[in-house]
Amino acid sequence: MANVLIVAEQHAGKLRKATLHALSAGRELAARTGGELAAALLGSGLDAAAAELAAHGVEVHVADAPGLEHPLAEAWAPVLADLARATGATHVGAAATAVAKDVLPRVAARLEAGMATEVVGFGGEGSAVTFRRPMWAGNVLAEVEIVTAVKVFTVRATEFAPARKEGQGAIRRAPVAIDPASLRTRHVGFVEVKIARPELTEARAIVAGGRGTKGDFKPIEALADALGAAVGATRAAVDAGWVPNDWQVGQTGKVVAPELYVAAGISGAMQHLAGMKGSKVIVAVNKDPDAPIFQVADYGLVADLFAALPELQAKLK
């Protein structure tokens, strides 16, 4: 039987939203392989998050031990590899978050498993299940078959709907033997950036600006606030030092798929499109009628953003 183990993430007792998307990817995979779905939850003080996970109908394996409080790859990887062996998992996955990108390759190495990253879908059935993943900034979709006995993968949360609460899973404590003193890495601190706006990857709407703003993001931010949206940016705007780099959307930034993406003063380079073209409705505001962004836009406005955005904002009021 091909069991699927999804690595969950929590913060301050609450499950990360991305985990719920990974869970539904795991559920689809388990249906294709005919196996069971389970989740692994590592950290400390995990009761609330474990209960939330179990309410989604999955068996939850909780590893709560000193040394696991913070997602240190050195500490988490051996625990997860042991858990995968103990649960007979043939597929170990997670949402492609910063944590998973750090931890899962080490889990794959320990399990001598092949790995597919940023998976956007699955194909096939049983042992012939394949993993669909973007290449070349999303211009090519590859269908990958992993031939090792255990397969490790990360999924793009934006490509899978969040799991719904269905059924009730058991919560099991995983025996963990870890000597925190033996770790060669240690957690120094966690600097949380507090923002009043929604987080980019979780926002329902995003207003993004590019070089066309000439460094003046006021109209972008004002429209975002009128819509209750997050603010995004191109790499050009970030590299110019106009906005913080955690606003960057694209191949080397964040991948987003909100209900609404407003791109203002953005040309639509393929590296930017790689991060936002999955958005449900794309609105482009650009002075240049030949800007490539119009090729992916559902609504295009050939206009000066400094005139158009305040007008849009006024209409929203």
- Residue 18 or 274 with smaller CB distance to ligand FAD: 274
- Residue 119 or 305 with smaller CB distance to ligand FAD: 305
Closest distance of CB 298 from ligand FAD, Å: 18
Distance CA 8, CA 87 (A): 15
Closest distance of CB 140 from ligand FAD, Å: 16
Q: Is 180 helix (H, G, I), strand (E, B) or coil?
A: helix
Amino acid at 79: V
- Residue 42 or 238 with smaller CB distance to ligand FAD: 238
Closest distance of CB 255 from ligand FAD, Å: 9
- Residue 155 or 236 with smaller CB distance to ligand FAD: 236
- Residue 67 or 232 with smaller CB distance to ligand FAD: 232
Closest distance of CB 258 from ligand FAD, Å: 16
Phi-psi region of 249 (alpha: psi -120 to 50; beta: other; left: phi over 0): beta
Closest distance of CB 246 from ligand FAD, Å: 12
- Residue 27 or 133 with smaller CB distance to ligand FAD: 133
Q: Which residues bind ligand FAD (CB under 6 A)?
A: 210-212, 234-237, 248-253, 265-267, 269, 271-272, 275, 285-288, 291, 304-306
Question: What's the residue count for the chain?
Answer: 317
Residues 6+ apart with CB under 8 A from 243: 209, 217, 231, 233, 237
Closest distance of CB 79 from ligand FAD, Å: 33
Distance CA 69, CA 157 (A): 24
- Residue 71 or 268 with smaller CB distance to ligand FAD: 268
Closest distance of CB 299 from ligand FAD, Å: 15
**Can you name the residues that pair with 91 across neighbouring β-strands?**
4, 151
DSSP one-letter string for 185-244: -----------SSPPGGG-SEEEEE-GGGTT--HHHHHHHHHHT-EEEE-HHHHHTTSS-
Give me the helices (H) in the chain, please. Answer: 17-33, 47-54, 73-86, 98-110, 218-227, 235-239, 270-276, 293-296, 305-316
99-110: burial string, b at 16+ Cβ within 10 Å, e else: bbeebbbbbbeb
